[in-house]
Amino acid sequence: MEISFYDFQNLHNEEFRKEIKEIIGEIIDNNAFAEGEYNHKFEKDFAKMQGANYCALVGNGTDAIEISLEVLGIGHGDKVGVPGITFYATIEAILNRGATPVYIDINPEDGLICPESTKRMVEAHDLKAIIPVHIYGLPAPIAELEAVCNPKGVKIIEDSAQAQGTFLPSGPVGSTNNMSTFSFYPTKNLAAFGDAGAVLVPSEELYKKIKTIGNHGRGDDAMYGRNSRCDHIQAAVLYKKLEKIEEYNKSRKEVATLYHQNLEGSKVKTLPTKYLQTSSWHLYPVQCESAEVRESLANLLSEKGVSTTPFYAEALSEMTPFKGHEGEDEKAKAFAGRTLCLPISAFTTKEQIEYICNIIKSV
């Protein structure tokens, strides 16, 4: 059985392709390429869906983080806390602002940022901000982080690139008073046909600043900016996909539940069951005994036609461009080396899950 890591064929089925081609045709006919009605429709509806006051579309998820740091006045000479398990973009945005990253360790149970490590790093390094990551789609402990950061005036920017469909105890990701950044890269749960991103913000002032910066700084409150617009076609794709995203995210949770049930008694460790209904399940990671076991299992699954990915094979502090920064990272390094992500989508079947799990349980 051949099982790909991503299932674009079912996601972009014949019905969807027909409908989106008609919409793109309208955009071409109207010559509204850089921005148009779908940008405004998506911003309004996505903000409502996520329980946010405002949504500002930008060019990509990395820009979303970087511009968020910018509007909060964070840059050269400032220290920003970043968890040891995340994608390049989180730390890349900090460095692009001229700020200094400080590593915050993770909870070995789930890979999420650790509040206790956060407290130590805030006190030891006088952090100006932290960027907790809802890694794999799991809800980061935002309330605990706010208890640490808010009294000291430390800003929180939630990296929600993998978390559309994730729920905190207080509501959907994006519904806090923090800025929340999203990526709509084609592999995400809610995905464009290319690069696109967004920032959910609590105030109109921040919304206007983000939009101004992303449009070369032009506008009534002119400032230094950049080109970070979400083009009209990408906005239209995202707006169209909003129709079924809640249905698809519900299916992902059902797939994750089946994985949990079928992997019971196997040698791999699954994430805590408390996340089955709160995670977006952008990825489905399991933990192996060691990096060697992970590699061996990945090779066995590949031989059987199953595509997997080791998100993330290394902690940030182990990656060549990001070595040498201060902070805590021991638990992050151990976690990263043992993680393997299995195929998951809204269309993963029970038969596919059982096939994959039987292979895993055979070792």
How many angstroms separate the CA atoms of 184 and 164, rounded? 9
Residue with tokens 């070369």, as numbered in its chain: 216
SS3 content of the chain, % helix, strand, coil (to 5): 45, 15, 40
Task: Please give the Cα distance from 63 to 129 (Å, whole number).
Answer: 17
- The two three-digit tokens of residue 361, written as one number: 């349980």
**293 burial type by CB count under 10 A (0-12 exposed, 13-18 middle, 19+ buried):** middle
Question: Do residues 291 and 314 touch, judged by C-beta distance below 8 A?
Answer: no
Contact 171, 51 (CB under 8 A): yes
The Cα–Cα gap between 138 and 163 comes to 7
- Other CB atoms within a 10 A radius of the CB of residue 143 amount to 12
Among residues 45, 70, 38, 350, the alpha carbon closest in space to that of 226 is found at 70
How far apart CA 275 and CA 257 sit, in angstroms, is 10
Q: How many residues does the chain have?
A: 363
Task: Kindly state the tokens that stand for 65.
Answer: 């983080």
Say which residues have a Cβ less than 8 Å from residue 313's Cβ, sequence separation at least 6. Answer: 291, 336, 337, 339
Task: Clarify whether 274 is annotated catalytic.
Answer: no
Comparing C-alpha atoms, which of 282, 253, 86 is closest to residue 186?
282
Q: Which of 79, 128, 155, 188 is catalytic?
A: 188
Tokens of residue 293, six digits: 């076991």
- 54 with 201: CB under 8 angstroms? yes
Tokens, residue 322: 């990001």
Q: Which residues are tagged catalytic?
A: 188
